[in-house]
Amino acid sequence: MNQLLLTQSPAMRGAIYMVLAGIAFAVVNISIQMVTMQMGMSSTAAAFWQYFIAISFSVPVVARYGLKSLKTDFPVLHILRVFFSVVGIQLWVAGLAHVPIWQAIALVMTSPFFVTLGAVVFLGEKPGISRWLATLVGFIGGLVILEPWADGFSTYAFLPVAAAALWAGTSVLTKKLTRTEIAESVTVYLVALLLPVNALFAGFGGGFAVPGMEALALIVVAGLLTALALFLSARAYEVADASFVQPFDHLKLPLNVLAGFLVFGYAPTGNLWIGAALIIGASFYVIRSEQNNASEKI
């Protein structure tokens, strides 16, 4: 009876959705690392086929809303948003081809701090001193994980950070567009433009070749689970408050650490947990600050 009541609770359903999304993303990341690191597939081809499969499930969205949703007063912002999103995807997959999964996941979690910077530049927001300090703490956490002073440091580690910055730009532009644009327009532009731009990267990055049936199977799994994970994340925020489900999103770090250890034998350094603690603590503050600002405007 108690278990039934828990699953009927919107908050608990939201938490379950977010945890399942984290598990799905962990399998996606492991699959991408296997086809790029071990099987020699180019990161641009892997990104194209992963999102080709995932976005195929969004075709009904485009068909449902039709050409009327493409009407906009800000076509340049839509294109720039998709460009940020696609380049972020390309850098993320390229990072997975060279960087241990635990390091990549921890570094991409710096995205909320780039959102703070982007909101100042593009939205004219004026964060208080405490939010600036939280942003600084978050970037210090990323620096601790990067360890640029260590002998084994690789510049490839900057790829997840660059992806985090670009995805933050996508979030900021989404906020700006949704002030005047309908949500359907934002969705359709992303779906309509993501594949062609990914195709350009694949075309210039070595082609679309998939090295064998095993790699094909892993890419299909990655694409299907990407679509599932995006759906589960959206459902989590739909059925429960963001402030409640956000901590469950941070479970993606230990989930990916565990997956990387089981599949590749990656063992994170102690600095990971120090840096991650700084990033997660600061990101909680930034997210809570943003929620308070939003409630004040209502």
Residue pLDDT, tens place only, 198-215: 999 999 887 899 999 999
Looking at 44-58, 136-150, 188-202, which range is the least confident one? Answer: 188-202
Domain that holds residue 271: 14-297
pLDDT (tens digit per residue) in 228-253: 888 888 788 777 776 677 677 888 88
Question: Residue 9: inside a domain, yes or no?
Answer: no
Neighbour-count burial for 145-154, b at 16+ CB within 10 Å, e otherwise: bbbeeeeeee
Question: Residue 165: inside a domain, yes or no?
Answer: yes
Whether the predicted model's global pTM rises above the 0.75 cut: yes
Question: Residue 281: inside a domain, yes or no?
Answer: yes
Question: Residue 253: inside a domain, yes or no?
Answer: yes
CA distances 229 to 54, 116, 132, 185, 222, Å, are 10, 25, 31, 22, 10
| Closest by CA position to 269, among listed 160, 162, 157 | 157
Domain count within the chain: 1
Question: Residue 5: inside a domain, yes or no?
Answer: no
Question: Residue 7: inside a domain, yes or no?
Answer: no
Question: Residue 236: inside a domain, yes or no?
Answer: yes
Mean pLDDT of the chain: 83
Question: Tokens 């699953």, residue?
Answer: 7
CB of 151 closer than 8 Å to CB of 72: no
